Each structure stands twice: as C-alpha cells, then as structure tokens.
C-alpha cells in the first residue's frame, strides 16, 4: 500500500520554508510522503500537489474556489499561521475539506511586536534616532513624547494575541480598554482591564489603538476615515492583525493631514507598500508583516501544521478546524 501524500505549498516569490522541509519531516517521519511545491497562485498547482490527501499552505499563496475544485483527494488544508482569509473556506466546506489554522504559535511575538510599535510611537524612537544621527539634540518631537501612565490603550479583539497585548500594556502602566462583541461577560474581569460595548465608545477614549481581530466580511475596513476621526487628538494606531481591517487610503491621509500623531503598521491593505509616495507618509512606521516571526515561532508553527496534516492523512481527529468540517 502506498503512503499517504502531504503537499506543502510555498510562495515562489519569497519562500518561507526550506527546500528540505526539515521541520515537517521531523514530525511526519516515514508515515507519509511529503512534497514541496512553489507557486505564485493556485493556478500554478501541479497535478501531484492537487492529488495530495492534505495540503499545508503558506500565507502569501491564495487558495481560491477554483484551486480548491482541483483538489482530488484532500481531507484538510492547513494554513501555516493564524489567519485563514487567503483560503476560500466556504468552497472547501462545500467539498467536505476541513480548513485548519495554527492560532497560537506566534502569540508572544505578535503581542511583543504590537507593544514595540506602540512604544516606538509613544517615545518617538525613530525620529529621535534620526535626529541624533544628524548630530543635533533639539528634540523636535517633544510634543509627541508621552507618559504611558496617562494614556489609554484601546484594543479591538481580545483573543489570544489581544489578551497577551493587553497584559503587556497593563504592565507598562497604560489604562487598557477593549472592545470585542463576541466575548462572554466577565472576560474583562479575568484580565483586570476595562470593557466597552461599542467601537465608537472605545475610539473616543483611546490614545493608542491596537488591532487584534481577524479579517472577515464584518471587519474589512472596520477602521476608515470616520473611525479614525473619532480617536482622541494626537492618537497613535498600531496594526499587527490584517491590513485590510484598516482602510489604507484613510490611514495614510490621516497621517499626511496630521489627524494622527503616528501609526505602526506591520500589515497594510494591498501590502506591501506600493509607491514611494506611500512609503514617504509622515509619522509612519512600517514593518514587513513580520510580527509573527522568530526562529522559535516558525519552528512551532511548522511543527503544528505538520502534526495536523499527519492527523488528516491517518484519519485522526483534526485540531483548529475553522470551517466546521469534522
């Protein structure tokens, strides 16, 4: 009897895995045949990948309904990461294919990154660095330097990463407030922070806004021009979740017009930045969708994905299913 087949689909433009798939092989061993395929889109899927019993797919490789229709034997699609908006989960559900993610692997890293961006903004680290390197000491950004204990840190989405960020912000002395309509009563008491029931109420009292919700039909452009105008004067915005939660044209305009004091964006709509004009937006810190990334987190993520894929091809119970297929 031939071994079951697991295919890893990586992004040809900037592969995230290694040619040997060493971490995945250390988990799967000889229990399944493992292949690696480089694609730009799912139109590039070859027949071998399309015939696999399980697929592990990296975040920059979209898997649309058309691509899913080509999967002949697939029991599970495992998204290597937290977000799964790059996979058409409804199309997978229609074909009886489970879609799984890895929701916990980068919790510490993303929370740390969000706090790092917030601290860089509140303490104006990059402008001060640039000024010091011109051999000047005028501290031109003094009006933007803030005492953390006087600021309200507003969080959208109190899941794993939102909670980890809240605890870090609380430890630094921020007053922490969150909005998450899907959490049961008492979630605020469990972590000792304040809860508000509407997004508008959150924005009105926020000095540092940090986004930690998933991207879906409800949250796409959740933050646009209107919402940014509700923030306190001189507010900062941090996004380590998904770019399209914040409307790109709105936040870049708010920065150019001085309605925001600054923004730290690890993710941005239609990423990466598309022009020198966008890159030159004042008071913008941009990082490379890298908040999740560390040596340790990538090992954990890939190991978990491999474990789920192995369960899929050996008929075991699946972890982290996001589209309701058992």
- Average pLDDT of the residues of the chain: 96
Catalytic residue among 242, 247, 300, 302: 242
Claim to verify: residue 84 and residue 171 sit in the same structural domain:
no
Residue 59 placed within a domain: yes
What does residue 238 show for φ and ψ, rounded to 5 degrees? -125, 135
Angle between helices 160-171 and 107-122 (to 10 degrees): 40
pLDDT digits (tens, 9 = 90+) for 245-284: 999 999 999 999 999 999 999 999 999 999 999 999 999 9
Span 170-180, average pLDDT: 98
pLDDT at 232: 95
Burial (CB count within 10 angstroms: exposed 0-12, middle 13-18, buried 19+), residue 129: exposed
Q: Which residue segment(s) compose the domain that 132 sits in?
A: 107-286
Annotated catalytic residue: which of 37, 113, 289, 302?
Answer: 289
**What angle is formed at CA 171 by the lines to CA 166 and CA 177, rounded to 5 degrees?**
35
With respect to residue 260, please indicate whether it lies within any of the assigned structural domains. Answer: yes
Residues 164 and 187 in one domain: yes
Q: Quick check: is 271 catalytic?
A: yes
CA distance 269 to 248: 6
Tally of CB atoms within 10 A around 317 = 9
Angstrom CA distances, 64 to 1, 46, 178, 270, stand at 32, 15, 34, 17
DSSP state of 246: B
What is residue 79's three-state secondary structure? strand
Indicate which residue of 94, 108, 131, 271 is catalytic: 271
Minimum mean pLDDT among 134-143, 174-183, 202-211: which range?
Answer: 134-143
Residues 132 and 260 placed together within one structural domain of the fold: yes
In a domain, 309, yes or no: yes
Residue 322 lies in a domain: no
Are residues 146 and 197 located together in one domain of the fold?
yes
Q: What tokens were used for 36? A: 């690696």
pLDDT at 326 over 90: no
Q: How many domains does the chain have?
A: 2
Residues 139 and 255 occupy one common structural domain:
yes
The confidence band for 1, taking pLDDT boundaries of 50, 70 and 90, is: low
Q: What is the pLDDT of residues 230-245, one digit of tens each?
A: 999 999 999 999 999 9
Tell me, what CATH number does 113's domain have?
A: 3.40.50.720
Reply yes or no on whether 289 is catalytic.
yes
């Amino acid at each position: 009897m031939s071994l079951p087949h697991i295919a890893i689909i990586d992004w040809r433009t900037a592969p995230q895995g290694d040619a040997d798939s060493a971490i995945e092989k250390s988990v799967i061993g000889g229990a399944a045949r493992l292949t690696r395929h480089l694609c730009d889109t799912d139109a590039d899927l070859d027949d071998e990948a399309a015939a696999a019993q399980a697929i592990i797919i990296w975040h920059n490789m979209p898997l649309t309904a058309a691509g899913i229709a080509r999967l002949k034997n697939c029991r599970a699609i495992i998204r290597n990461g937290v977000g799964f908006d790059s996979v058409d989960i409804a199309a997978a559900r229609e074909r009886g294919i489970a879609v799984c993610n890895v929701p916990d692997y980068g919790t510490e890293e993303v929370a740390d990154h969000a706090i790092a961006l917030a601290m860089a903004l509140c303490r104006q680290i990059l402008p001060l660095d640039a000024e010091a390197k011109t051999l000047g000491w005028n501290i031109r950004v003094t009006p933007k330097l803030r005492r953390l204990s006087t600021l309200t840190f507003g969080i959208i989405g109190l899941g794993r990463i939102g909670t980890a960020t809240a605890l870090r912000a609380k430890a630094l002395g921020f007053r922490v407030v969150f909005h998450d309509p899907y959490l049961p009563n008492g979630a605020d008491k469990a972590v000792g922070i304040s809860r508000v029931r509407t997004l508008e109420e959150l924005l009105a009292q926020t000095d540092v806004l940090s986004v930690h919700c998933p991207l879906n039909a409800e949250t796409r452009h959740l933050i646009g021009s209107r919402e940014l105008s509700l923030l306190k004067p001189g507010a900062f915005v941090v996004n380590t979740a998904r770019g399209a939660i914040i409307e790109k044209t709105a936040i870049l305009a708010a920065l150019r017009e001085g309605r925001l004091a600054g923004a730290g964006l690890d993710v941005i709509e239609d990423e990466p930045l598309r022009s020198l004009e966008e890159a030159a937006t004042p008071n913008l810190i941009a990082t490379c969708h890298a908040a999740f990334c560390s040596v340790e987190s990538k090992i954990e993520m890939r190991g978990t994905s491999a474990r789920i894929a192995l369960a899929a091809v050996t008929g075991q119970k699946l972890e982290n299913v996001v589209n309701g297929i058992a």
